Structure 1
Amino acid sequence: MGIEVGGLLGLIWLIIVIWAIVKVAKSSAGGVAKVLWILGLLIFPLVGLIVWLLFGPKG
């Protein structure tokens, strides 16, 4: 049962990170800022997501 729960949580986490990347790509931030945010989300998923939620581009 632990593998199924871990897999489900991993899938949910993947969906959240993909959602964040899509939101960054659609934001009004400049091209370089978008690339840096997306790289941060891909390289540091947990920390990148938290930082993006706090300081990321709004809109």
Structure 2
Amino acid sequence: MSDQDPTNPVDNTQMLAQLAQFSTLSAANQTNTDLTTISGQIAKATGTTGITSTTA
């Protein structure tokens, strides 16, 4: 938003779409974190190696 042109602001529809994308991305990242944690807990409980998480 810091690079937004004050003479040509983003309309409300575009702004809501961007916020929805940020929200979706945040939720996906949290799900990934939660699944990694659960996988580690299962691996610890069963004595297996679990799933290795790779992030880009």
Report the TM-score range of the alignment, normalised by the length of the smaller protein: 0.5 to 0.7
TM-score by length of 2: 0.55
Number of aligned residue pairs: 37
Does 1 or 2 have the higher relative contact order (CA < 8 Å, sep 6+)?
Answer: 1
Which of structures 1 and 2 has the bigger CA Rg?
A: 2
Q: Structure 2: 5+ residue runs without aligned partners?
A: 1-15
Query: CA RMSD, aligned part only?
Result: 1.6
Q: Structure 1: 5+ residue runs without aligned partners?
A: 44-59
TM-score by length of 1: 0.52
Which one has the bigger helix percentage? 1
| Identity level (%) | 0
